Structure formats: C-alpha cells, structure tokens
Amino acid sequence: MFARHSTHPISTALARVVASALVLCSTAPLAAQAPAEIPTPASVLGFEPGADRKLPTWKQVTDYFMALDKASPRVSVRTLGKTTLGRPFIVAFISDPATLASLPRFQEIQRKLMDPRLRAAGERDRLIADGKLVVLITSSIHSTEVGGILTPLVLAERLAKAETPEARQVLANSIIMLVPSQNPDGVDIVGDHYRKTLGTPEEGNGPPDLYHHYTGHDNNRDWYAFTQLETRYTVDSLYTPWDPQINNDIHQQGSNAGRIFIPPYMDPVEPNIDPILTAGTNSLGSAMSWRMISDGFTGVATNASYDQWSPARQYSLNHRGVRILTETASARLATSMDMPFDRLGPGRGYDAREVTWNYPVLWPGGKWGIGDIVKYQTAASWALLVESARDRQGWLESYAQMGERALGASPPWGKDAWPSAFVIPKAQADTQALQRLVWTLQHGQVEIRETTAPVTAGDKSYPAGSYVVLSKQPFGAYAKALLERQHYPDLHEYPGGPPKRPYDVTAHTLPLLFGVEVAAVAGDAPAAGSIVKPIAEPKFTTALSDARARRVAIFRTTANESMDDGWTRWVFDKYRVPFTQITEKDLAAGSLNGKFDAIVIPDQPPQQLARAIGDAGSAALGAFVEGGGNVLAFNDASLFAIDAMKLPVKNVLEGVKNTDFYAPGSIFGVEVNKSSPLAAGLTTPVPSVWFEDGPAFDITDPAAATAVLSYPASGNALLSGWLLGPQKLNGKAAMVDVKRGRGHVVLYGFRPQYRGQSNATFPLIWAAIGKPAA
C-alpha cells in the first residue's frame, strides 16, 4: 500500500491540483467548507493527539498520513524504504499544490543555489526570486520522547487545513519535508510496552529493550557515519537531493527544568561550521522564543544544555542548514505527572526557579502531561515555519553566499590557514577501512578526486592516482572536520573549577577511528582529476565471517539493554560473525563451555552487571574461563570482570576527581605489545583507542596478566578531543590479557567497537574471540 505513493507522487499531486482547481471554480461559495474534508487525526487514531495515556501505533500514524495524502492537495507522502525491523519509513512533502506539482524544478533551483558551479552567469537573482525555503522536520528519533510522534499529526493537519495569511505565507514560500518518525520501529517498541503496562506499577517507564534495534538512544549520533538504514533514508532521499536551509529536530528533555529548550546553543561551536549557520540558528531560535513567549508560553530556555560541537548530531549544520533542536519537558511517556515549582531545579546554563536573560519567564509548576508536550512542540514548530517563511529571500541569499564562499578565498572564515587538501593514499594496510572512509565521505556529499601528479604532504610524498579531498568544494569544511584532529576547548564551570561537560563526545577524526592514513596538504592545492564516482560500501570481512567454528555469545542484562550491546551486535552483523544473545539466566545455568567459546560483555556500569549476574553467574563465568573459554569485557564492563573473577588488575582512575582527570569521548594514542597475539591483527598507521570515561589499568601480578596496549610512559596520549590530567595515563595499560586456567579474560579500557566506527580496533575483538578451527 505504501509503494503506490512512492511511485507516482508528483503525478498524483498534479492530478489533485487540477481537481482542486475545478472544485474552487464550480463551488466557490462553498470553498470555506472544503477543509472539512481533511480528516482529523482523531478520525484515524480514535483519540485526540495529546489525550492522556494514549499513544498511536506506527500503522495508525502512517494510515493518517496516507489519508491526508489522499484528501489534501497540499500533502504528498512518499515511502523511502523499510526500517531495520521492516516498517515503512515515510516522509510527507507539504506545500502549495502548485509547488508540489513542480518539485523537480524547485529541487534544481535549490541545487543551483547550493553550488555556484551549476548555474549560468546572471542566473543567481532569478533563482533566489523563484526558489523556496526548504524545511526538513525530523521528529521522534528518540522513541520514549513520545510527544514527537503526535506533534507531526497535528502539524500536518494544520498545514493541510489552515487558511490564515500566515499559513498561506508558509505554504507559498516553503517546501516542508516532514518525517513523522526518524525511528518508526521505536514507535511500536515503546508504544506496545506502554499499552501493556498501563495500569500497572510499570506504567510510564520505558521498555527494557533498546528502542532502536542496534543503536537505542544513540540513533541520533549517526549523522556522519551513516551506519543505520533510517539515517541513510533521510540523508540519501532528503538531505542529499535538497540540502534544506532549515532542520527542525523535535526532541524531549528531562522533567524538572524548563518546559522547552530552543537555540541558541551553548558553547562550544565546531569551528568548521559556517558562521552564517550559527548566526542563522541563533536568529531563528530567538525569533521562535520571542513568538512563543508573546503567545503566553512559559518556561522557555535558550542558550542552555545543548552545544554545537559533534557532527554526529547535526548533519544540517555541516550541510548549509541551520539546526533548530527543540527539547520539550517530558512527562512519564503519555502519563501525566505533578511537577511542583519547588521540585524544579537548575538546568545547564539556567535555573528554572530564577528569571534570567535566557529564561525570561518562569513556568509556575503543576500538572504536566502529553497534551502540554504536544502543545509546546506544535507551537515551536509553527513559530519556526512562520518566522522563516516571512524572510524567504533572506534565507536564500545567505544560502547562496555559503555556496560561493565554500569555493572562494581560503580560509572561508576565521584567521587560521586551512590545508588546501587531504591526500588519502590507496596503498593502505586495511583496504576495507580505506573503502569505508571514501564511501563515508562521499555519502556526506564530499567530492573525492585522484591526484594527477605526486604530492608532498609533511615529509612524505604520495604518488599520482592517490585519492584527494580538496578543501575548496561545496562541503570542504565538513570533510575537514572529519579528517582533522579535534582541539576541544578547555572549558570549566568557573576558573579552576570542574570541567564543563560536553553534550556528547569531543572527537570525530575518521582517519584515526577507521585506521586509515590521511595527510593534510599545506600550500597550493594538488593537481587533481575529475570527481571519483560513488564507490560501494565495503563488504566487511574477518576470518570469523560466515563461520560457525567459534561459538560466540553477547551478553545483555534483561532489565536494561545497553546501547553498547546494540552497537556490538551491529558490528557482528555487519561482519556476518554469528553470535547468540544471552542474559544472566544463561550465565546462571552454567555449563557454559559446552555452549560457547567466547562471551562478550559490552560496556555497562559494573554495578548493574553485578546486580544482574550475581554470585552464581560470576562463578559460572569464572568456571567458563578456567575451562578454556574467553571473556571479552568492554570499557566499564572490565571493572565488573575484575571484581567478579578477582583478576590481578587495578583501575588506576577509580575515585579520581574530574578536576584531576577527564576525557568524555576522545582518541588516545597507545603503544602496542607486538608479542601479544591479541594485537597481531592491528594495522592502523596510528595505534589509538576510543576513550570515554573508561578505566586504565595497573597489573598487580605480571605473571598472570599481560598488557596488550599501553599509554605512553611520558607525554600526552591525546590525539583528538579533550583530556584533562594526561599524566594519570602515563605507563598505564589500556588493554590487558589475563590468563586464567585454560582460558583468557580480555579487559578493554575503551570501546573497541565505538558506535560501529572504530574499524582500527575491531581486530582486537576478532583476535580475542579466536581463530576458527582449521
């Protein structure tokens, strides 16, 4: 039923334009009644969006959009593909019928404004006069933020029906691409759990399973690695062809601070983001808060909580679009709660009990429920649409300017010189990682060429025919962000005080993460040929791929599946390494050697693991190792393993204050113990690990344990991101192989499979699982 909509969206829209024109001509006096034909969400859902304790199924959501598509000439729904678990992933294009009938024409205008190389001399002004403001709304990526699945229904209905001058202006000036859920699977995972637990003590709690099969809440940390299908649909079908001027990303935050956050963001700003976009984000966000507060909304916070750093969360800011993140206060899923004023507290950057410039009107406290959430989210989105449509021309002007300066003088902004290019030699130890790097960059619209003469970068020379990324290209700044090392600013709460926590991680250097040699070229840009055609995503392979010779288990706790578990499964599935998912019940059942050769315990707080696994499970794990099994413990899970199996290893960072040591997501250089078989598969040119609040080890019995990787004995291990207190790491082990009986416990003081991105350290996982029997 969805394919029908994806095959002929333009022609059905066109047919509707004609039909609606006929209706208007013949029954003009009755035109006021026409909106009555637009179905209400309640007519499909059976309840009003925002009704207490009611959530829709994904089928109901898509049914409503299909009904709108049928009834309204302003709405055209397309299916972009099937989600990870097989549900339809949809987008609704919303605009004036005449615009919908000419989408290819407006897309061409948009492309020409984006890239000055595509337009003829003198064409610019006409394109700006004719073009539309393209707004992408992405909602409900985080499935427990349940208002996000209802608000799109309300918005779509309003856009389909409204006849006010401001609605007319929005429809006339904008093309809205509304993605009602960036994670349709999660709508049902959370909704089914909610309906099942209604009226029980569990009511209002999220499900124990990840609400995205592989990534859970991390599904919005995928906007440069593109590991997940859902990310790819939005990037491939919406971002890449359109590069919208605005992304409205609808989220929810905690319950006990402001009622809604709207940008400006807090510092820091990723320095490769075009300052026009930072200023545009600040300007539009401020206009939205102004409008909401004028309309009587309270508890509106700006310049709070959320920063503008990691490209993992902000595709648009790296691709010519402002990103308006809104974060509305949560209730208990669709169950309301009481939040008295005296239980409100400080958020980051403001205090919900005090009036400040960025929190100008207090929310008085009281009942808060799904209806309030939908009301705030709808008002914010409406303010965004109205305020941006008002200045369509200004938005298109600045959009064109960004395109021009991406190809103009270097540096396009700032005071520091930019490299003219990055060279990626084709002779690399890990050809799959090389292919992944090229694929990943191309997928983010980066143009890759081949050099036509040898190039010198640093003290090395690279042959003609090497891959090269020129800085002077439409998304050269984005490529630079991913290829260079990050210098995260040293931010503290106050002088001499604790570090100011970043909203997410601080490093995103793909050459280090993937383990690929890349060199920055200073001076003149190297001679390069035409753009290399998009290459295929590599088929990842290890010796364990498609082999059942090693029996692998991946452990999760029943009560709460960790995101690291999801990412671990993703990496194993991507490499087609078979595994069984097990829980504490399987451990407690014992006789593990009869079932498995290796058990992987992904990153999870050690207390959670200890509580779930208990003494019996710990004893069974110990017996498994004694009997020849291997246990792999990632990051904090290693602390559980040390404790549960009394291993001769100590975490030297335990109890260390964050003023003395802090690294919230950085890349550290390590030294490799070449005599360890576990390190034999490492090929990365710069051995390094992804460190995120993890441990570092001292070995207390050198006869029983060996360091596989160690931090340098002196100097600073930091390669990219942020590190306070580098001396704490000096000489400490990053990865330890503990021999016990006939088996091994392998402790990783880092995440070797970090968000599916750290190809450089994947071999450390495969080696510890062991080679398939010959």
Binding site for Zn ion (CB under 5 A): 142, 145, 251
| Cα(45)–Cα(150) distance, integer angstroms | 10
Q: Which is nearer to Zn ion, 186 or 665 (CB)?
A: 186
In the complex, least distance from residue 407 CB atom to Zn ion, rounded to whole angstroms: 35
724, HSE (Cβ side, Cα atoms, 13 Å): 20
Question: Nearest to residue 149, comparing CAs of 23, 81, 77, 49?
Answer: 49
Smallest separation (angstroms) from Zn ion to the CB of 369: 18
Smallest distance from Zn ion to CB 145, Å: 5
User: Toward Zn ion, which CB reaches closer, 112 or 221?
Assistant: 221
DSSP annotation of 499 reads: B
CA–CA gap between residue 9 and residue 100 (Å, rounded):
9
Q: How far is the CB of 251 from Zn ion (least distance, A)?
A: 3
- Choose between 218 and 584: whose C-beta lies nearer to Zn ion: 218
d(CA 711, CA 726): 10
Write out the H or E segment, with its range, that includes residue 461. Answer: strand 460-462
Give the Cα separation of 655 and 219 in Å (integer): 31
* Tokens found for residue 706: 């060996």
CB of 500 to Zn ion, least distance (A): 21
Dist. CA 337–CA 300, nearest whole Å: 19
List CB contacts of 121: < 8 A, sequence separation 6 or more: none
| Radius of gyration of the chain measured on its C-alpha atoms | 27
CB nearer to Zn ion: give 69 or 504.
504
- Nearer to Zn ion among residue 261 and residue 488 (C-beta): 261
Judge if the upstream peptide bond of residue 677 is cis by omega within 30 degrees of 0: no
Tell me how far, at minimum, the Cβ of 224 lies from Zn ion, in Å.
18
Return the number of the residue (223 or 575) whose C-beta is nearest Zn ion. 223
For residue 612, the tally of other CB atoms under 10 A from its CB is 21
Nearer of residues 251 and 740 to Zn ion, judged by Cβ: 251
* CB of 326 or CB of 506, closer to Zn ion: 326
Q: Which is nearer to Zn ion, 119 or 217 (CB)?
A: 217
β-strand partners of 697: 651, 733
| Shortest spacing between CB 252 and Zn ion, in angstroms | 6
315-328: buried (b, 16+ CB within 10 Å) or exposed (e) per residue? bbbbbbbbbbbbbb
- CA 763 to CA 633: how far, in whole Å? 15
**Placement of tokens 């992804």 in the chain:** 690
Least CB distance from residue 60 to Zn ion, whole Å? 22
Q: How far is the CB of 299 from Zn ion (least distance, A)?
A: 18
C-alpha closest to that of 429 among 680, 718, 672, 754 = 680
Least CB distance from residue 739 to Zn ion, whole Å?
44
Q: How many residues does the chain have?
A: 774
Instruction: Output the six-digit token pair for 386.
Output: 């109205």
Least Å distance, CB 190 to Zn ion, is 12
Shortest approach of Zn ion to residue 756 CB, angstroms?
20
Q: Which of 145/222 has CB closer to Zn ion?
A: 145
For the sheet containing 519-521, what is the strand order? 449-450, 467-470, 421-424, 519-521
- Least Å distance between CB 218 and Zn ion? 11
Q: Which is nearer to Zn ion, 142 or 508 (CB)?
A: 142
Closer of 124 and 142 to Zn ion (Cβ): 142
Residue 733, phi then psi, degrees to nearest 5: -85, 140
Strands 552-555 and 246-253 turn out to be: unpaired
What gap in Å lies between CA 507 and CA 357, rounded to an integer?
Answer: 31
Is 75 or 155 the residue whose CB approaches Zn ion more closely? 155
Q: In the 8-state DSSP scheme, what is residue 196?
A: H
Query: Which helix (H) or strand (E) is 327 found in, with range?
Result: strand 322-329
| Start-to-end CA span in the chain (Å) | 49
Determine how many CB atoms are found less than 10 A away from the CB of residue 26.
8
